[in-house]
Amino acid sequence: MDLLNTLVDKGLRRETPTRAEALAVLATTDDELLDVVAAAGKVRRHWFGRRVKLNYLVNLKSGLCPEDCSYCSQRLGSKADILKYTWLKPDEASRAAAAGLAGGAKRVCLVASGRGPTDRDVDRVSDTIKAIKEQNEDVEVCACLGLLSDGQAERLREAGADAYNHNLNTSESTYGEITTTHTYADRVDTVRKAHAAGLSACSGLIAGMGETDEDLVDVVFSLRELDPDSVPVNFLIPFEGTPLAKEWNLTPQRCLRILAMVRFVCPDVEVRIAGGREVHLRTMQPLALHLANSIFLGDYLTSEGQAGKADLEMIADAGFEVEGAGEVTLPEHRTGGGCGSHEGSGCGSHEGGGVCGTVSASASAPAASADEPRPDLVAVRRRGAGTDLAPNA
């Protein structure tokens, strides 16, 4: 297929595809899917080989968020029956992180619900970062605390944070339809604050909330301009008790096309399969490893993932290997401090970090047939942080 040959050539040169080319990837048929995966896989292997980076989430504070993001089980007014607890103490968070590190994770992502941290919250997280790094000197720590105020990114960096996550979630044109308590511009500003402070920027999206193909391409091109080092791709987990509980718009094939499109637009960036992979990719998860070079190990913020042991077996069975603590994730041209740069414009999880789109069908291609709802696959997290039960890692 001429399209795929063109996209592979561009990906190996770090050249941006056209919007039409990105849309064409999303419009490919199921008969063409393996060709799409093979092509994007060439780009993935060129920049990242067969390494898979493992990341581990620690939910520092769960639920009771004042923001109204429609997708989120922790949102204002959510009736989802999730765990609710206030800030974990640094030693509690460090013990939770240790489980993921023992399972092979090299990055710990510290997440807290809320609009954004107070200065006292930054002190809490700083103490937690120090506690984790005292036990695991080489671990990468990413903070995800919401909207940042001036100076907070610098304080997190001084405390030892390596990265900051704040997802764009969906296109700018549809953002107001899914959140009214903050703006798309607020999110962009926080990513820029993190980047300017010398933190590795992490920013991604959530797919499956009724958005159009154009919305998906818009947000991925916006991410390329922001130049994060890592791009988490979340797939909506339709929690009962949230406004998007009935949004079951994804098939495994649709998820693979989305991941392939992200890889072509962001060829040399850490593309991470984040929340929802077990719910929507299901038995097709191993194919997704040919597109993404990073996953979360174990559970997510408020939902349970597949067993950590199953994650490790899946990686090995698919012919991939877990990236070691001493290995550098990003290609050399991106590791000169911060995010590096691209020729042309730059490019670059978690469940609860994304947002929905609109409910209209794509203008460029027929909408993918809706997946059969699988609420049986949405398991509310009842173990790990905030409980007395052992974590999944």
Which residues are CB-contacts of 293 (< 8 A; sequence separation ≥ 6)? 44, 47, 48, 51, 52, 53, 270, 271, 272, 329
**Bridge partner residues of 296 (DSSP):** 55
Q: Measured between alpha carbons, how far is residue 136 from residues 94, 102, 264, 327 in Å?
A: 9, 10, 35, 16
Give the strand pairing for 200-202 and 163-165.
parallel
Spatial CA neighbour of 165 closest among 187, 184, 132: 187
3-class state of residue 174 by DSSP: helix
DSSP 8-state secondary structure symbol assigned to residue 198 = T
Q: Which two tokens stand for residue 198?
A: 């010398």
The helix-helix angle for 2-12 and 33-48 (nearest 10°) equals: 10
Q: Any idea what the Cα angle at residue 352 is, between residues 350 and 356, rounded to 5°? A: 105
Q: Could you give the residue numbers annotated as active site? A: 65, 69, 72, 109, 142, 202, 272
Nearest residue to 216 via CA among 344, 351, 361: 361
Q: Which amino acid is at 336?
A: G
